[in-house]
Amino acid sequence: MSDEILFAEDNDEEIELQGKWKVLIVDDEPEVHAVTKLALGDFVFQEKDLEFLSAFDGEQAKQMFREHDDIAVVLLDVVMETDDAGLKVAEFIRNEMDNHFTRIILRTGQPGQAPERDVIINYDINDYKSKTELTAQKLFTVVIAALRSYRDIIVIEENRHGLEKIISASADLFSIHSLESFIEGIVQQLASLIGGTKDTAYLTSAVVGPKPIEQYNSSELYVFTGRGEYKNKAGNRLEEVISGRQLISCQQAYANKTMICEDEYLVVYCDSKTKKGSLLYMSGLPRKLTETDKRLVEIFSQNVQIAFDNVLLNKDIEDTQREIIERLADAIETSFGSKNHTQRMIKICDVLGRSSGLSEQDLKILSLAVPLHDIGKIRVSDNIMLKPGSLDAEETLAVRNHAEIGYNLLKDSSRPLIKTAALIARDHHEYWNGKGYPRGKSGEGIHIFCRITSIADAFDAMRSERSYKEAWPIEKVMKVIVAEKGQQFDPNMVEFLQENLGEIENIMLRFPS
C-alpha cells in the first residue's frame, strides 16, 4: 500500500522494544475485525509489525487486558452488548487495571449515542472516530500516531524505573563496606538494570593480588575480582585475561574515559576523583542494549568508582585500626615472654566463633577485640609475670586483678569495638560453673565472646612455650580441657574445640611460640 512508503521514512529515534506492537480489536461484528486486519496487514513501524488480538464483547476485552500487560493500542467499539459497553471497558482499563499506557481509540457506528467531547473528557480516551470516516489511510494515520504516543510513554516510564534503580543501586553500593561484597553488589545491580551478564570483571590499578592497597601500580590494570570466566582471575593483568577485539576496546575505553558497547560485551570506564579510574567489563550480554540501557549503565558507572574508593578508604581505616590493636597486644605479650599469641588467639577464636554460629559481623568484632583481652597485664609487675616458679597468694591476686584493670582501662569508650574489648578483658577468666573471676559469673550469663576467648586462651597457654614453662603435648592439653567440660569451660566450646582440633593445631604450627 502507498501508506507503507509514507511511513517508511519515519525519522523518530530508533528505540528497540521487544516483540510486536499488540493491537486489540474490540467489536461485536466479525466483519470489522477482518477489515481492520486487512487494512493494517502490512503495517510496519520501527521494523516491527502488528500482532492482532480480538475480543467480541466487553467481558472478553477485559480478559484480554488481564492476560496482556503490553497492549499498545485498543480499537474499541462503543456499542456492543449494551449501549455503553465500550465506555465500561475504557473505564476498566484506566481505573481497575490502572493502565494509563495503552492508547484507546473509540470507534462507533452511532456517534450520537456517546457525544465525542464528553467521552474524551470523562473517560481518558485518546481518539474518537466514526467507523464511516476510518478509511484505510486514516486508520494508518490514527494507529501510527497512537503507537508513537505509546512508545514515548513507555520510554519515559522505563527511564523513570531506570532512575529508581540507579538511586537504589547507588545507595546499596555506598552501603557496602567490604571489598569482598563490592563486585557482588555491582553485578547484582547491573543484572537489575540490563537483565544480567554471564561474565563480569572489575579491573583497577588501585589493587593488586591478595593484599589490596599495600601495592599500587598506576600504569597497569589488574582484575580486582569477577564472576563467571573471571571468578578466579584476581590479581591478573588485563592483558592476561582479555584479548583480541575485547582487549582493544578495554584499552580504548580506559584511554578515552568512555563506554564501548558491542553486541556481546560492554566495557565502561569508571571515573575516580582520588585515583586513576577503573574498568567494568561484561561479556555474554543477554540482549542488545538499548540507548536507555546504555544511559543507565553510564550513570551507574559514574557512581561505581566513588563507591569503590569509599570501600578502599573504609578498609584502609579498618586495617589501620586492626594493626594498631595487634601491635599493642604483641608488645604486651612479647614483654611477658610470649610470641605470636595474639595471632593464634585471633585465628582460634574465629574457628570457634564460626562453629558457634556467630554472624560475620560478630566474628569481625571478636577478631578485632580479642587481642586486647590481656591489656590489664600492663599494670602487673614484670617480676610477677615473668616469675619462673609458682606464685604465692598475693602474687596470684595481683595477676587476677588484670581482668578488672583491663576492663577499667577500656570501659568508658562509646565505641562498640572497645566496649566489646572491655567485656572480654574482664570476663574471659569466668568459669562455666561460676567459680572463676573477677565477678563469679556462670553459664550463659557469660557473654559468648568471653566463653570463646576463655577456652582459646587456656588452650594456647598450655600448648605454647613460655619463659617459665615448656609447651604441653596435645594429649595432655586435651585431657585437661575435657576434664573441665562443664566446669571451667562451656561444654559446647569443648566440643567445638575437639571437632576443629586439626585446624587449630595447624594454626599453632603457622604461628609458633
- What residues are labeled active site? 377
Rounded distance between C-alpha atoms, residue 254 and residue 247, angstroms = 11
- How far CA 331 is from CA of 328, 334, 347, in Å, comes to 5, 5, 18
Rounded distance between C-alpha atoms, residue 29 and residue 33, angstroms = 7
Region of residue 441 (phi > 0: left; psi between -120 and 50: alpha; otherwise: beta): beta
Residue pair 144/136 in contact (Cβ under 8 Å)? The answer is: no
- The cell for 153 is 510513554
Q: In a 3-state reduction of DSSP, which class is residue 222? A: strand
Rounded distance between C-alpha atoms, residue 125 and residue 143, angstroms = 14
Backbone angles phi, psi at 170, to 5 degrees: -65, -40
Strand (E) positions, 190-311?
A: 199-204, 222-227, 259-261, 265-270, 278-283
Residue pair 130/32 in contact (Cβ under 8 Å)? The answer is: no
- The DSSP call for residue 224 is E
Rounded distance between C-alpha atoms, residue 300 and residue 277, angstroms = 14
Nearest residue to 338 via CA among 468, 506, 477, 478: 468
H/E stretch holding 128 reads strand 127-130
Residue pair 228/198 in contact (Cβ under 8 Å)? The answer is: yes
Residues 6+ apart with CB under 8 A from 378: 332
Residue pair 460/344 in contact (Cβ under 8 Å)? The answer is: yes
Rounded distance between C-alpha atoms, residue 403 and residue 376, angstroms = 6
- The cell for 150 is 505509546
Cis peptide before 30 (omega within 30 of 0): no
Rounded distance between C-alpha atoms, residue 77 and residue 249, angstroms = 55
Residue pair 309/301 in contact (Cβ under 8 Å)? The answer is: no
Strand order in the sheet with 265-270: 222-227, 199-204, 278-283, 265-270, 259-261
Q: In a 3-state reduction of DSSP, which class is residue 267? A: strand
* Vertex 236: Cα angle to 170 and 174 (nearest 5): 15
Strand order in the sheet with 127-130: 44-45, 48-55, 21-26, 71-77, 103-108, 127-130
Rounded distance between C-alpha atoms, residue 406 and residue 410, angstroms = 7
